[in-house]
Structure 1
Amino acid sequence: MVPMLLFAALSAAAPIFARASEDIWGIAPCELCLWQRWPYWVAAGLALLAALWPRGRRALGGLAILAVLASGAIAAFHMGVEYRWWPSPLAGCQAPQATPGGSVDDMLRSLAAAPSKPCDAPAYLIPGLPVSMAAMNLLFALGLSALGLILLRRGDRA
């Protein structure tokens, strides 16, 4: 039970930290940044269920690990967008384009309600360290997934 609670807490910590980085350090998220957060919430919920339902612990724990890996996959894709290896297919990831011939009122109406940034503009938490938030998420997802596997195996032996 305790290992799955730890996994749930660490899964929830990732999107909470990402949100805190917006409020504390003013790091603006892009649409892909926001997509990376959802699988962690799914993983936290599945891990909580695994802690509460011992008979389903292995299956639910495995699904929680897969959810964390899904966030890591989105982060890897996001890194490819940041390095400009490929474009993002999401419309919200594109920088706003001025339309020629439109009025200022037309341009103002076309702006998003909330400010956004293009997904190919990496956000760095630590100045001078060339590791973007997407890269940190990928590393965290891989580490948390490995920890999840260790916790599941340790639970099987107990």
Structure 2
Amino acid sequence: MSYLDRLTANQWIAIAAASSALMLAGAFVFQALGYAPCEMCLWQRWPHAAAVLIGGVALGLRQKVLAWLGALAAATTSAIGFFHSGVERKLWDGPSSCTGGGVADLSVDDLLAQINDAPLIRCDEIPWEMFGVTMANLNAVGSLGLAVIWVVAATRKG
């Protein structure tokens, strides 16, 4: 029997919730270092906050069935992260509120309005990357792993 086999559902829940808390903390550290979040970055934070809350409630009430909600929260932020990764890589368009739009058929007044309404932090630009991996990529893959941990917690006997 391995060490992981000996972990209880509550221990798995605690690991998953703590991991979401650490991912949120990491996002705030990057923000404190001057990497302002775009709109989609902020969207990715909310499910992590929900997962932390769900984990606390699940542990407090000893209701491992709530781990399914934690899995949903982690899967949601993972999906947003994968979508954001595609926007960053220009594989598809992001929301118009967060990315640049076309200018070919715009009047001068419409173009000026688009420039004035443009977000300061764009979702289709990569503010930080290491070895080709961006923050959105890290969230997408890491949160997918967290979703698996939540499912393990939900399905754990005992």
Decide: shared fold, TM above 0.5. Answer: yes
2:51 matched to 1:43? Answer: yes
Q: Distance in 2 between matches of 1:69 and 1:94?
A: 27
- Among 141, 144, 148, the residue aligned to 2:143: 141
Match of 2:79 among 73, 77, 85: 73
Q: What pairs up with 1:1-158 in 2 under 5 angstroms?
A: 1-24=10-33, 26-54=34-62, 56-58=63-65, 60-94=66-100, 100=108, 110=116, 116-126=120-130, 129-154=131-156, 156=157, 158=158
8 A Cα contact 2:12 2:149, kept in partner: no
Structure 1 stretches lacking a partner, 5+ long: none
**Residue type of the partner of 1:92?**
C
Bigger relative CO (Cα 8 Å, ≥ 6 apart): 2
CA spacing shift, 1:87–1:79, aligned 2, 3 Å: same
Query: Equivalent residue of 2:127, what SS?
Result: coil
Query: Could you tell me how far 1:150 is from its partner in structure 2?
Result: 2.8
Q: TM-score, normalised by structure 1?
A: 0.77
TM-score normalised by the chain length of structure 2:
0.77
Tell me by how many angstroms 1:90 deviates.
4.3
* 2:133 alignment partner, SS class: coil
Distance 1:101 1:73 in 2: 37
2: CA distance, partners of 1:61 / 1:107: 43
Hey, what's the Cα distance between the residues in 2 that align with 1:101 and 1:78? 30
Question: How far, CA to CA, are the matches of 1:78 and 1:27 in structure 2?
Answer: 16
